[in-house]
């Protein structure tokens, strides 16, 4: 799983003013911006050091905010961890959906495309982030709040991967395709071989 900035709609509190200003015209309030910065800081800590590194003090320091702000905007640490997990999962799904849209457009225009390359683009972070990404995924299991956020958001990722695969003419289930990538990456990281080459080789056998 990845990832890894997009704001989540649920990070903002909607104020009903009697008219709909549209998603682009509405500006976040100062409080919403502060809360979003705390969530982003917690997400950065998860990616860098795992969920166990997320404390109120560490998040406040990373966000350049007061310690009291973390307890004002979040009921407790699991609440903050859950919001950060949702943000990370949302970013991952956003990326996969953008790649799926490109794949569908290419298929509609009868353009030649490589579903393996597109799948890797959809589910893997930049090369320099791959090891940290997988370390934090494994570490996410120590935090029930992050685990719930990842599990609840997984349907978006699988749906996007499914769209991508169908556009490329593959009947492979999206869950299987992602599992193949995960297995190839972990093997490559543990053996010191090329991650992209390992995942590409296995995917070409499956897709």
Does some domain include residue 83? yes
Exposure of 71 by Cβ count < 10 A (0-12 exposed, 13-18 middle, 19+ buried)?
middle
For residue 143, give its domain range. Answer: 9-17+26-206
Instruction: Please give the Cα distance from 178 to 172 (Å, whole number).
Output: 10
Structure tokens at 87: 């943000």
**Structural domain total, the chain:** 1
pLDDT tens, position by position, for the chain (207 residues)? 544 333 333 343 333 333 344 444 467 798 999 999 999 999 999 988 889 999 999 999 999 999 999 999 999 999 999 999 999 999 999 999 999 999 999 998 888 889 999 999 999 998 888 988 898 888 888 899 999 999 999 999 999 999 999 999 999 999 999 999 999 999 999 999 999 999 999 999 999
Provide the pLDDT for residue 113: 86
Does some domain include residue 119? yes
Does some domain include residue 1? no
Does some domain include residue 3? no
Does some domain include residue 88? yes
Q: DSSP string of 22-76?
A: -TTTPPPPHHHHHHHHHHHHHHHHHHHH-GGG--HHHHHHHHT--HHHHHHH-SS
Contact 132, 185 (CB under 8 A): no
Task: Check which CATH number belongs to the domain holding 61 and give it.
Answer: 1.10.357.10
């Amino acid at each position: 799983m990845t990832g890894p900035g997009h704001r989540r709609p649920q990070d903002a509190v909607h104020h009903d003013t009697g008219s709909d200003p549209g998603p682009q015209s509405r500006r976040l309030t100062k409080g919403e911006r502060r809360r979003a910065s705390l969530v982003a800081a917690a997400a950065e800590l998860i990616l860098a050091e795992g969920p166990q590194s997320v404390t109120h003090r560490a998040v406040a320091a990373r966000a350049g905010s007061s310690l009291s702000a973390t307890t004002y905007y979040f009921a407790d640490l699991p609440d903050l961890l859950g919001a950060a997990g949702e943000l990370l999962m949302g970013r991952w799904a956003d990326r996969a959906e953008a790649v799926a849209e490109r794949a569908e457009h290419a298929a509609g225009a009868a353009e030649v495309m490589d579903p393996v390359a597109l799948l890797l683009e959809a589910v893997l972070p930049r090369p320099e982030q791959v090891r940290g990404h997988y370390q934090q995924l494994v570490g996410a299991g120590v935090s029930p709040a992050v685990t719930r956020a990842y599990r609840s958001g997984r349907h978006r990722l699988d749906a996007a991967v499914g769209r991508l695969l169908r556009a490329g003419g593959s009947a492979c289930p999206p869950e299987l395709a992602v599992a193949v990538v995960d297995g190839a990456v972990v093997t490559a990281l543990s053996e010191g071989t090329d991650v992209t080459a390992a995942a590409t080789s296995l995917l070409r056998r499956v897709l």
